[in-house]
A and B are shown apart, each in its own frame.
Chain A
Amino acid sequence: MTQGITLSAPVRKRPGRWRSFGKYWAVFQISMASSLAYISEIAFRAVTLVALMVIFVQLWQTTYSAQANSHLGAFTIRDIIWYLALVETLATSVPALNRRVDGEVRSGDLAYLLGRPCNYVFYQYAHYLGERVVRLAMALLVASTLALLFVGPPPISFWGLLAAPLVIFLSISIDFGALFAIGLLAFWTEETESFALIYSRLVLVLGGVLVPLELFPEPLGSIARVLPFAALLYGPARTIIKFDLGQFGALLVQQGLTLAVLAFLVAGIYRLVVRRVNINGG
């Protein structure tokens, strides 16, 4: 005689959206806790940030003292140092996501992760966000302390402050899409570090990490402003420092479009990748 097993209603039901979200929220929290456990390693990274801030402050002080005008474009020295503090915060807080995904592909760990009751892409996104938030907070603390010491309080308006979480969130989400796609290239290429290096350099140079894009010589400045790299660093930092409703709207469109294209690209690559995964035994 066999006895049938009756599933209770909540178990039978497919997990709702909020319960799915709860899983990724838990991954996000664990990732944050794990990053905080290695806070000393993150603090060491501040050495590079301090060096970069010192270099840029001295470079711009020399540049401004060589000019007759107290403004370069729309920027005073205080604006530019705070702008650099923000872009450096964003640029130096990127985790090595591509290296992690690359490692999981090569070691075969990806096959185990695919079997978990969660979507691999969202799992990685939640993990990345947890790590990135801790790094961002630490970098912001160091960069803003230095900027405060060098040029005084930030020239940020109420609207700039209000826009900051949204534009920063979109910026780090774009970064995720690009780095995740680069990591998945490990299925086809011998190594992915070269792609990551070129991507990061394009972001630094064309994203305005050294100079706000409007101070670039023309036509390079105009070209760089419409490229997706501007949506990562220049756009968010410019919006926070010098809020302008029109530019804020344009930035949201640029970030939204970049994110949509990347999401499409990641989904395409991921679908191809899943088809190539072979699981032999356990």
Chain B
Amino acid sequence: MRSYLRFLGGYLSANLQAAMEYRAGFWSQVASMALNDGLWLGFWFLFFQRYPVVQGWVVSDIIIVWAVPAAGFGLATGIFGRAQRLASVITSGGLDSYLTMPKNVLLHVLVSATSASGWGDLIFGLVAFTLLIRPTPFDFLLYLALVLMVAIIFTAFLVLLGSLAFWLGNSEGLSQQLMGALISFSTYPTAIFHGAVKLLLFTVLPAGFISYFPVELLRSFRWPLLGALFAFTVGIAALAWAVFHLGLRRYESGNRLGAQAL
């Protein structure tokens, strides 16, 4: 466990140093993503103030609906930056170089890149929650735990989508679109959805676990609710792990020549 943490830390540091080679580009991506999130939040803040469509919803709920998914997605793609390109890594034969390495293949692939804009999302989420909600120490710790669980859910979902490439071939387009759909659904109050869409949000497209649970928990903390979210997080992570390794058995080398520097 300790060796894996050192491994993650080492990669994270190397990825950030590589990204910093283009310092202005890195920071402009961070700033533009934070600004992008701020624009959306500002807009929905105005919208829900004018049209209070969800009974009992207050301003802080809208902030949470943005602050938790944004920070969770940012943490996921900041650390596991390759998760978004997993499908193309698989179809281009890019797994070859990882198969010969001693560390776990999935973890190694995921951690081999970082997303600059992801850090913008993470910074936005943390700043929005801290400055606009002004949480108690307990709420802040709960927020951090929620962000961590949401990051695991996003990563697992990306792995599941990326692993489709083992069976479907190049599924990067489909994977990006489904991820876009998950992010879109995650940033709206779950209460506005009903019928089959609501069922979808707690099953196939787990946006309900990313937005509904954090809002409810930060409103009034309940252990059973936290337990349910934790169980779902562990479940989807285990499923993603199993599906990837099942797909790996079907993987055929692309005889690709290349060098893996890290």
Chain A residues proximal to chain B, CB less than 8 Å = 40-41, 44-48, 50-52, 54-55, 58-59, 62-63, 66-67, 189-191, 193-195, 197-198, 201-202, 205, 210-211, 215-217, 220
Contacts and interface: CB of A to CB of B under 8 A. Distances in A.
B180 interface: yes
Contact of A44 (B28, B32, B174, B185): B174
Contacts of A211: 47
Interface in B47-64: 47, 49-54
- Main secondary structure on B side of the interface with A: helix
Given A59-B192, A201-B36, A202-B39, A51 B22 contact: no
B144 interface: no
A190 B192 contact: no
A58 B49 contact: no
Contact of A51 (B50, B52, B180, B194): B180
Given A58-B193, A59-B188, A220-B46, A47 B25 contact: no
B142 to A, nearest CB: 27
A124 B107 CA distance: 41
Interface residues of B, number: 36
B21 to A, nearest CB: 10
B119 to A, nearest CB: 13
Given A52-B184, A201-B40, 20 more contacts: A40-B173, A45-B173, A47-B174, A47-B178, A48-B184, A51-B185, A58-B194, A62-B54, A67-B51, A189-B28, A190-B24, A191-B28, A191-B29, A198-B36, A201-B39, A202-B39, A205-B39, A205-B43, A210-B47, A220-B46
B31 interface: yes
B101 interface: no
A48 B181 contact: yes
